[in-house]
Amino acid sequence: MRSSNPVFKTIERDQSYTVAEQATYGGIVAKTFLLFAAAILSGFYAVTSIGPEALLPLLFGSMIIALIAVIVASRSPRLAMPFSFVYALAEGVILGFVTVLAEAFAPGAAVTAIIGTGSIFLVMLFLYSSRTIRVTNRFRTIMYASLLGILVFFVFNMLLNVFGVSFFNDFYMSSPAFAVGLSLFLIVFGALMLTLDFDRAESIVEGGADKRYEWMVAVGLMVTIIWIYIEILRLIIILSASRR
């Protein structure tokens, strides 16, 4: 049973838990809100207190820290709590500046993206809880393979850019219809990833996992929700640019 969210790989490999106190849905929700609160505070501080001269070093450092922190949080139940907060604080800096740039280009983009992300989350939670969408082994396999393909594609494109080959970026910029279609696909994919995250959260709680695993589930949900938020922002910017 594999989730498309890489944060849950460690949980899936561990078939036995040493339970001091069992994980609960309430605990997962509370921890997810705490991580987002930390990210919001971090982003607000960054955009209001950091000078322009420190912007690029801060963003670059935050990306590295966020990557390392989410890897550690996803692999070690013992370290999941502190590194989940490290990830949230670093990701908050990135999201803060991304949101400010989006607002400068398309006023109201942040509020629209927040409402859109929240709506998608609630709709997918309803579809999952009502079993309208059923997470089967085939569904998991398709999603996991698709995620791997998306990651390989973006890494390959990044390497091409390093060597000065930018035909995909040129096509992306010159074809608004393709850009909109790609963003819509990534938003839908993120929404489907949520169902796998809900399924993993259910497995953790119903399986009687240790309460420390709540942090791993919470940070996994945060990764997916941020994916959707950023893609909605991207779509808003594309649509705004096409109208100009």
Give a yes or no: residue 12 inside a domain.
no
Structural domain span for residue 220: 20-243
Count of C-beta atoms within a 10 Å radius of residue 196:
24
Count of C-beta atoms within a 10 Å radius of residue 39:
23
pLDDT at 15: 44
> Is the separation of the CB atoms in 216 and 75 below 8 Å?
no
Give a yes or no: residue 122 inside a domain.
yes
Amino acid 165 reads: V
Number of compact structural domains in the chain: 1
Give a yes or no: residue 216 inside a domain.
yes
Give a yes or no: residue 220 inside a domain.
yes
Give a yes or no: residue 4 inside a domain.
no
What are the residue ranges in the chain where pLDDT is below 50? 1-4, 6-7, 15-17
Bridge partners (DSSP) of residue 22 are 210
pLDDT at 167: 58
Count of C-beta atoms within a 10 Å radius of residue 28:
22
Give a yes or no: residue 11 inside a domain.
no
Amino acid 61 reads: G
User: Which spans in 109-212 are helix H?
Assistant: 109-129, 137-162, 167-174, 176-206
pLDDT at 169: 65
Apex CA 80: angle with CA 79 and CA 82, to 5°? 70
pLDDT at 171: 58
pLDDT at 53: 73
Give a yes or no: residue 64 inside a domain.
yes
- What gap in Å lies between CA 36 and CA 43, rounded to an integer? 10
Give a yes or no: residue 77 inside a domain.
yes
> Is the separation of the CB atoms in 208 and 22 below 8 Å?
yes
Contacts of 78 (CB under 8 A, 6+ apart): 212
- pTM score over 0.75: yes
